[in-house]
Structure 1
Amino acid sequence: MPGTTSPTPEVIRAVGLVRFADRRLLLVRADRQEAFYLPGGKIDPGETEQQALHREVREELGVGLVGARFFRRYETDAVGQGDGVQVSLSCYSGELDGEPQPAAEIAELAWMTREEYLARPVTAPAIVALYADLDPA
């Protein structure tokens, strides 16, 4: 209809930790979720991306993050958040100061290859794109 504008899509700003070794990416799955995604999460008001990343890694993996280097940003559909919801995921690499363990709302932690991830019943578009950059077929 002329003169109408479509609503601005909701965009979730989030950060994620990229730990990639031996063609495997460290991923987590939250309680009541099917998709695995990067350790990390939403950025709270007043937080920088790096502050949010350090907080989320400590909460979800029970270890600290040493250093954080920006890798890439992905803007895609947000899995499990409703139709039309987008995510702007800022990915950072860094080292952990201990052995990661599932904590807080995290039900499961896994190191997956691209093939293992793509075989899952539910995948996150941002993680599929990240795998394409980390481990091109």
Structure 2
Amino acid sequence: MPETIEVVALVRWEAGRLLLVRADYQTAFYLPGGKIDPGETHEQALHREVREELGTGVRDVRFLDRYVADAVGQGEGVRVGLNCYTGELVGTPAPAAEIAELAWMSRAEYLDQRATAPAIVALYADLG
């Protein structure tokens, strides 16, 4: 059975654009978020990851959906379980920690990137 890496992610969708980040070690943009530490709830992990990656807080957190797809850059057969949450940012997001870039992208802009994450493509399809 293939390995599935469980992660949490923040979905900020404004004016037809999704808030995305790219880590300095990745080629694909993805949602702000990351792995859940042992003993953390999904919401605790989301708050920690948003603080680490964007330098902001998040409030009014609500579960949106879960996507399971091939994980980008994690090796053959590794999947990601992307647990998506919505919420309002508290502060202005800026790249922090390992984040090299932050961008607001439409679906078309994302699909024009040289590397994309299958779970993000599926999310865009659901967002419209």
Q: Could you tell me which residue of structure 2 aligns to residue 112 of structure 1?
A: 105
Structure with greater Cα Rg: 1
Q: 2:65 aligns with which of 61, 72, 97?
A: 72
Q: How does 1:46-125 map to 2 (within 5 A)?
A: 46-125=39-118
Residue number in structure 2 paired with 1:10:
3
Equivalent AA in structure 2 for residue 102 of structure 1: P
Question: Which protein is richer in strand relative to its size?
Answer: 2
Structure 2: where are the runs of 5+ without partners?
Answer: none
Letter in 1 for 2:14: A
User: Which residue in 1 is equivalent to 2:22?
Assistant: 29
What amino acid sits opposite 1:18 in the alignment?
A: V
TM-score by length of 1: 0.92
Tell me, what secondary structure is at the counterpart of 1:103?
Answer: coil
Question: What is the total number of aligned residue pairs between the two structures?
Answer: 128
Deviation at 1:32, TM superposition (A): 1.8
Superposed displacement of residue 78, structure 1: 0.4
Instruction: Give, in angstroms, the shift of residue 130 of structure 1.
Output: 0.2
RMSD: 0.5
- How far 1:49 moved relative to its partner? 0.6
**Is the partner of 2:81 in helix, strand or coil?**
strand
- Partners of 1:64 and 1:87 in 2: CA distance: 24
Structure 2 counterpart of 1:12, one-letter code? I
- Residue equivalent to 1:5: none
Amino acid in structure 1 at the alignment position of 2:82: L
1:94-124: per-residue Cα shift (whole Å, max 9, x none)?
0011000000000000000000000101000
SS in structure 1 at match of 2:2: coil
Distance in 2 (CA, whole Å) between partners of 1:97 and 1:50 is 15
Letter in 1 for 2:119: A
